[in-house]
Structure 1
Amino acid sequence: MSTRTASEIRADRAAALGRALTALLAVTAYAVAWLVKRSWRRLLPVYWVAAELAVAWVAGPLGLSWQSVAILALAIAATAAGWRARSRTVRAWRAAIAVVLGGSAVATVAAGGPAALAAHPTLTIALPTLAGVVLGWPWWYHLRQSPPEPEPQPAPTVVDEPAEVADPLTAHWEQRWQTEVVGQGVCTGTTLVKAIEPRPGVTEALVRLSPGTKPGPLFKSGPDVEVALDLNEGAVGWRSTGKTARLRVILVERSHIADGVPWTGPTYANGRLELVRFTDGSPGHWVVSRPGFGVVGGLVVGSIGTGKSRALGALIANLLDGGAQVAVGDPQNGQSLPAWKNVVEYHPGVEATALLGRRVHAEVMRRSQMLADVGVQAFDENDPRVKAIGLRTFIVVIDECQLILIPNTPLVALMEQAAETMRKTGVGLILATQLPQMRSLGGSIRLRDALVAGNALVLRLSNRGSGSTILPDDFVGDPFALEPEIDGKTTAGMGYLRHSNRVGMLCRVPHLDEDAVAAVAPRVPVRWNVPEIDPASPIVLPGHRTPTTAGKTATAITPGGGSAVDRLRAAFGTGRRTTTTVVEQVAPATPADWVLACLRRGPASAQALLDRPDCPVNQSQLYTLLGRLKDAHRINPPAQRGGPFTIAG
């Protein structure tokens, strides 16, 4: 039996302890490495603060001066500012972090290093920690934003094609489409698979899109197809089929509207009416109401002599035939729609038309309350609850609206609110103008978008004018290219109808004798639910204060009290009671907030934002601001040049 000495036992125990400590150190290092690897992204701002405190603490034992620490901080700040990043904003943010925390380290070292940390923990530890939390907020916000997932690629549509094309019409147009259209670089990625002839001189073809071909640009390719096939202007129209891979294109070789469109009487049925005829002879409908949706309005635009009044007359005749209540505002003192003076409720003159607009707004708000009280969410004339309170469809037509919608006036805001809320109340607003600029609607994109969401008829326009046009961003067609006459025949009444199944195809308003049609039209009296508007009353939007209460009046104190200024006035004998009016003002939003607020109302192009009357920046500043917002991923860039920006998210 062997025996060990005490020194040998102690040596063995020391070796065992060393192995245990080594193992513990290895496990601790692995755990720390694992923790840092899994949490460094979320704890990165904490590391910034820890680095600053570490520099401030070790500066004392190492004998570093505050000048050396300042040089180190400047080097780190310069590196952060110059290091490659997604944008200049990110570089500036990194540099700000280095400057703030580096300055804190310099101040701590200058105040004594470890001694300052122990003597003043609030200033040397708490404040840098708070600064790190504040400066780290963008980092944590960035981590919460999940990266955009790639869009799944649609599976290619397999279409069984017949081995032989038995239809000679399809074979003829398939060959022409392939050689004259696709062969010339127009509608690339499409194949014509079927053609029919619904009317003489009209061909309706089914076009198949190859994978990767977008239908959006095809809707705007009508003029190029007309050139390729040597067709007349406005002779090509597109319509969707419900499938992304298939579109229908209508090709017209013989126009059915070149000699005019006769008036055959009212056609109002099921909330829509035939307002125009397309080049191929098919009807174009103006929608008044949709089941479960309510009543919609619209916009009619056309230069002098283009048939705008004729279109409004056809609208009024159809609406009266359908039993709708109609009120007409004519700022031109009865010159715009004279045939309807004694048929509908007529308001001639600028003042009367402006009062009509104000009363319509009040009517919309009153109807909204009445319908809410009986539990109706959207107006339906056949709903028993709507009939019980006596509400009917009410359409207001205002011609030459540019005479009353003056930019930056309260009436514009009033009409905006009415147009945005009228749908569910059974009120429809139709505005007409001959000037194709946004100023015709008071510069209000909101008003324009609310109207064209229902209907839009754009007739021939003679002058694009300055600033943005009144046309919607997704409008297809070129009304500025229409000539007053083609081959000696007038083009009055020709234009483009938005929201149709003939996108990009010309249409024409029927030629009606307004006096004769008005004489036989039914009379439908308007039943108002609000009294007439007092012309002397101010315009006040709901939720806003009247001008008489917009300010606060404060009375100065007589001698013996009040502020130092009051006592000074009293000392010089000017202690009379005076009244000081304090006007509340709201600080204007930043340009970035203004852009984001505009885009929250709807997509808008850079030119549309620049043409708004309340735009706070010039052109170069706006494009710079849009670039910064795009780099910060707060807005989405347009899909094509000149297109609309949208809110990210």
Structure 2
Amino acid sequence: MTRRRQRQSEGLSAREQARVQAAVTTALAALDKPPRTHGTELVPAPNRQLEPATQSAETTAESPESHRDRHGRTRNPGWRSLAHRNRRQLLPWKATLAVALSGYLAALVGWVTGESVLVGQITTATCATAVMALLIGLRRKHTHPYWGGWLLACAINGGAWITTTAFCGTSYPLLVWLCASPCLLGLRWWRHVRHPSSATDTDNGTGHRGAQLLHDWATNAGCSGGPAPGTRLTNLTPYRYGYTGELRLVRGKQSLADVQAALPRLSTALDVAREHLVVEEHPDGPPSRLRIQIVTKSPVTTAAYFDQPVYRDGRILLGPYADGLGDASFVLHSDDSMESGYVLGSKGSGKSRVLETIALTAIATTPTVVFYLDGQNGASSPLLWEHALWHAGPDDAPAMLRSLLAIKDYRQLYNRKNRLTGFTPSAELPGILVIVDECHKIFTDQTAARWADVAREGRKLGIGILAASQVTTLDAFGGGQQADALRSSLVSSNGIALRTASKVQSTVFPGLSVDLMSLPKLPGYGYTVDDGDDQHRTAPFRARWLIDAKQAAGRDEPLPDGIHTAEDWFAAVAPNQQLDERSAHAAGAAFATRHEKAAREQAELDALFATASRASASRVETGRVDDFTEVVVPFPDLPNLPVFDPENPDGDREAEKPVNSPPADLSDAQYRVWDAIACGVVRSGDIADALGISGTRVRVLLGELVNAGHIEKVGHGRYAVTSTHRQSEGSRV
């Protein structure tokens, strides 16, 4: 016990000062709360700030010996006001008064009854019980040792004085002991309850908010059974958008991934929105120390307008991070290379707007041309379809792929002739950014290998692929043995993960261990994937809003000065795209005749709807239904549909191809093996070749999946997904 008291009496280190000050501030804040009357509703206090003239009049009317306190009540200055202002400083003396009354009462009872020994024994047992109850309470509440030891020392001292007084009665030595105790033990308390130097120290509320966060972390998050047990929040300091601090982990038991996975529960522990908590590696500390930002005034709650394209050091700036510290970026150019990327996002996540921002900035700030492939024939982004140098749908995707391969071969010869080892964008040799929207309709099993070649070899030749889809399974990249190679080539350079409808989708991104389903429903809100450089941050961001003309027209007020619509931006910069002559020649006839083909398709589309509009107007004027049947409206050929058999209405359903729904409890390695089997790679050797891992590792993962019931063995070395993870094609979301 003596050693414990010595350790507790020693001064605290610098890293403990913030927690101690926070606990004191929290206790002091509780004293400032206005009284709440039971059964009555709290009514906000009226505004007591008066105009200068009115205030002067009322001040004159009031008695010169009265004033109003901060609660609006009239008080007379004097000893009561002095006691109220020093109520915190008087707490040790009030506790001493209670101890004195208890001890003298016990001595009086012993003197009156003549049983001072018995009264002393009862008093000793009562004081010992009270000290034990205090010790148990301190342990349950996980009180900091700085204050827990102090409270325990005060309780033991008070109990010892009461017991001694009960046995011995009153004496001068006991009176000196009683008076000296608050003077010595109260020093620690008085050091933390000094009067503020100015009124602003207590009026701004900043200290109370930070103290509350420290208290909530200690009691709700870092406590035993909390979402991050054993962790400590230290060095919490305010900054422009909230608070920043350090998070100390339990070494060997916790990591950054564990804390990020616990963010939804940490959100409730601190009573802070999930998107306002940012946890990442500390820039100057060891792995056991993380940096945490608790945002109170987020810069991304409301969308920031796209005011100008920004390209800096090979990066396209997308938008601010949620904590306001910097901007997320897309790496367009690195050392002698042009990078690829992948954007994941479900409907309404802002995926198309992110693609448009990247394309617009690339065209406006660098010698880059944009090729656009859309699995929905231009419906995903009409702006990119109109302003890209070359656009194509699923039917024309093979022709564009052949042209890209021809350009790649030509530029390889160009580099060999000029003894170049990489790519630097220039007007003589511009970069080619191929945007593949809804890529699950563009990449096929037959073309996945060639697309992978373009992504791997094209980066040194100025060709980059930016794909986007709503899923990350292998079938979105063509399926088969080359799908994983294509996916890895795209995700490893630039990965942008927006809100999705499936938790499994985030496992494909390296270093990203967050639940994308829990992201707020804000367009353009998501994460960028670590690309291995020092500028990346594991923090959510929100892309700047590239507003279109329709959205601008729906606003009640005009756009701010300097903000232009997406149509205006593309109309200004898109005509500057110019592919070099040799690359255009290598692209062949498909590239040379792209304008004629686009004009022909647009004319057919205009004729289609013009004819339909005339037929509809004729039917309205004549009131005859059969007039409409005389008009022949051309329409694109539909795929061959199965013939409905009334005797076998369920026959078509039996022929439907099942769609596999991935399990939600798989590790990254298990998910890749399961996804390969779901895409038709069913033999263990083929899986090892497709994923680039050893056969032994594949067999171990297969055994784990079989034991979990996610796959089943259907033959020698052949596996299939179990029926519990299949659903019909019509139920796909």
In 2, distance between residues paired with 1:300 and 1:293?
23
Please say if 1:462 is aligned against 2:495: no
Question: CA distance change for structure 1 residues 628 and 310 in 2, over 3 Å: closer, same or farther?
Answer: closer
Partner of residue 681 from structure 2, selected from 615, 620, 631? 615
Deviation at 1:197, TM superposition (A): 2.9
**2:346 and 2:501 in contact (8 A); partners too:** yes
In 2, distance between residues paired with 1:187 and 1:632?
35
Output aligned runs, 1:531-550, within 5 Å: 531-532=586-587
**2:506 and 2:513 in contact (8 A); partners too:** no
Partner of residue 498 from structure 1, selected from 512, 515, 529? 529
In 1, distance between residues paired with 2:376 and 2:237?
49
Per-residue CA deviations over 1:417-453 (Å, capped at 9, x if unaligned) read 1112232222211011234533111131211111111
**1:272 and 1:288 in contact (8 A); partners too:** yes
Question: CA distance change for structure 1 residues 524 and 497 in 2, over 3 Å: closer, same or farther?
Answer: same
Deviation at 1:413, TM superposition (A): 0.7
Counterpart in the other structure of 1:394: 432
Per-residue CA deviations over 1:336-360 (Å, capped at 9, x if unaligned) read 3222445331223223233223322
Per-residue CA deviations over 1:59-93 (Å, capped at 9, x if unaligned) read xxxxxxxxxxxxxxxxxxxxxxxxxxxxxxxxxxx
Counterpart in the other structure of 1:329: 373
SS at match of 1:605: helix
Counterpart in the other structure of 1:245: 288
Question: CA distance change for structure 1 residues 517 and 331 in 2, over 3 Å: closer, same or farther?
Answer: same
Counterpart in the other structure of 1:451: 490
Deviation at 1:379, TM superposition (A): 2.5
**2:237 and 2:245 in contact (8 A); partners too:** yes
In 2, distance between residues paired with 1:627 and 1:374?
40
Question: CA distance change for structure 1 residues 372 and 176 in 2, over 3 Å: closer, same or farther?
Answer: farther
In 2, distance between residues paired with 1:291 and 1:469?
25
**1:314 and 1:512 in contact (8 A); partners too:** no
Deviates more, 1:262-271 or 1:337-346: 337-346
Counterpart in the other structure of 1:276: 319
Counterpart in the other structure of 1:355: 399
Counterpart in the other structure of 1:515: 567
- Structural RMSD (CA): 3.9
Counterpart in the other structure of 1:596: none
In 2, distance between residues paired with 1:469 and 1:196?
32
Deviates more, 1:371-380 or 1:396-405: 371-380
Please say if 1:439 is aligned against 2:439: no
**1:189 and 1:209 in contact (8 A); partners too:** yes
In 2, distance between residues paired with 1:273 and 1:468?
25
Question: CA distance change for structure 1 residues 495 and 249 in 2, over 3 Å: closer, same or farther?
Answer: same
Question: CA distance change for structure 1 residues 265 and 246 in 2, over 3 Å: closer, same or farther?
Answer: same
In 2, distance between residues paired with 1:208 and 1:189?
9
Question: CA distance change for structure 1 residues 532 and 632 in 2, over 3 Å: closer, same or farther?
Answer: closer
In 2, distance between residues paired with 1:203 and 1:455?
30
Residue 374 of structure 1 aligns to which amino acid in structure 2?
N
Deviation at 1:196, TM superposition (A): 3.0
**2:369 and 2:579 in contact (8 A); partners too:** yes
**1:306 and 1:492 in contact (8 A); partners too:** yes
Per-residue CA deviations over 1:181-201 (Å, capped at 9, x if unaligned) read 11153233432222233323x
Output aligned runs, 1:359-438, within 5 Å: 359-381=403-425, 390-406=428-444, 408-409=445-446, 411-438=447-474
Question: CA distance change for structure 1 residues 371 and 206 in 2, over 3 Å: closer, same or farther?
Answer: farther
**2:243 and 2:294 in contact (8 A); partners too:** yes
**2:217 and 2:233 in contact (8 A); partners too:** yes
Per-residue CA deviations over 1:145-178 (Å, capped at 9, x if unaligned) read xxxxxxxxxxxxxx97356347957655443322
SS at match of 2:312: coil
Deviation at 1:271, TM superposition (A): 0.9
Counterpart in the other structure of 1:525: 578
In 2, distance between residues paired with 1:531 and 1:450?
25
Q: What TM-score do the two structures reach when normalised by structure 1?
A: 0.53
Counterpart in the other structure of 2:100: none
Please say if 1:215 is aligned against 2:249: no
In 2, distance between residues paired with 1:330 and 1:267?
26
Residue 367 of structure 1 aligns to which amino acid in structure 2?
R
* Total equivalences in the alignment: 393
Counterpart in the other structure of 2:515: 478
In 1, distance between residues paired with 2:327 and 2:569?
20
SS at match of 1:239: strand
Deviation at 1:609, TM superposition (A): 1.4
**1:459 and 1:494 in contact (8 A); partners too:** yes
Question: CA distance change for structure 1 residues 181 and 502 in 2, over 3 Å: closer, same or farther?
Answer: farther
**1:193 and 1:207 in contact (8 A); partners too:** yes
Question: CA distance change for structure 1 residues 195 and 358 in 2, over 3 Å: closer, same or farther?
Answer: farther
In 1, distance between residues paired with 2:699 and 2:500?
40
Output aligned runs, 1:241-320, within 5 Å: 241-242=283-284, 243-289=286-332, 291-292=334-335, 294-320=337-363
**1:329 and 1:398 in contact (8 A); partners too:** yes
Deviation at 1:501, TM superposition (A): 4.7
Counterpart in the other structure of 2:669: 605
Deviation at 1:412, TM superposition (A): 0.8
Q: What TM-score do the two structures reach when normalised by structure 2?
A: 0.48
Please say if 1:344 is aligned against 2:388: yes
* Unmatched tracts of structure 2, length 5 or more: 1-11, 23-206, 549-565, 591-666, 710-733
Residue 207 of structure 1 aligns to which amino acid in structure 2?
L
**2:499 and 2:526 in contact (8 A); partners too:** yes
Residue 518 of structure 1 aligns to which amino acid in structure 2?
F
Question: CA distance change for structure 1 residues 181 and 334 in 2, over 3 Å: closer, same or farther?
Answer: same
Question: CA distance change for structure 1 residues 359 and 511 in 2, over 3 Å: closer, same or farther?
Answer: same
In 2, distance between residues paired with 1:205 and 1:287?
28
More RCO (CA 8 Å, sep 6+):
1
Question: CA distance change for structure 1 residues 372 and 206 in 2, over 3 Å: closer, same or farther?
Answer: farther
Deviation at 1:371, TM superposition (A): 2.4
Deviates more, 1:202-211 or 1:318-327: 202-211
**1:236 and 1:249 in contact (8 A); partners too:** yes
Structure richer in helix, relative to its length: 2
In 1, distance between residues paired with 2:378 and 2:457?
29
**1:610 and 1:618 in contact (8 A); partners too:** no
Counterpart in the other structure of 2:216: 176
Q: Percent identity?
A: 21
Counterpart in the other structure of 1:224: 265
* Unmatched tracts of structure 1, length 5 or more: 1-158, 382-386, 485-490, 536-602, 643-649
Question: CA distance change for structure 1 residues 223 and 469 in 2, over 3 Å: closer, same or farther?
Answer: closer
**1:393 and 1:427 in contact (8 A); partners too:** yes
**2:511 and 2:529 in contact (8 A); partners too:** no
In 1, distance between residues paired with 2:475 and 2:698?
32
Output aligned runs, 1:34-73, within 5 Å: none
In 2, distance between residues paired with 1:426 and 1:231?
45
**2:507 and 2:668 in contact (8 A); partners too:** no
Question: CA distance change for structure 1 residues 617 and 353 in 2, over 3 Å: closer, same or farther?
Answer: closer
Output aligned runs, 1:120-139, within 5 Å: none
Question: CA distance change for structure 1 residues 345 and 229 in 2, over 3 Å: closer, same or farther?
Answer: same
Please say if 1:629 is aligned against 2:700: no
Partner of residue 14 from structure 2, selected from 161, 182, 202? 161
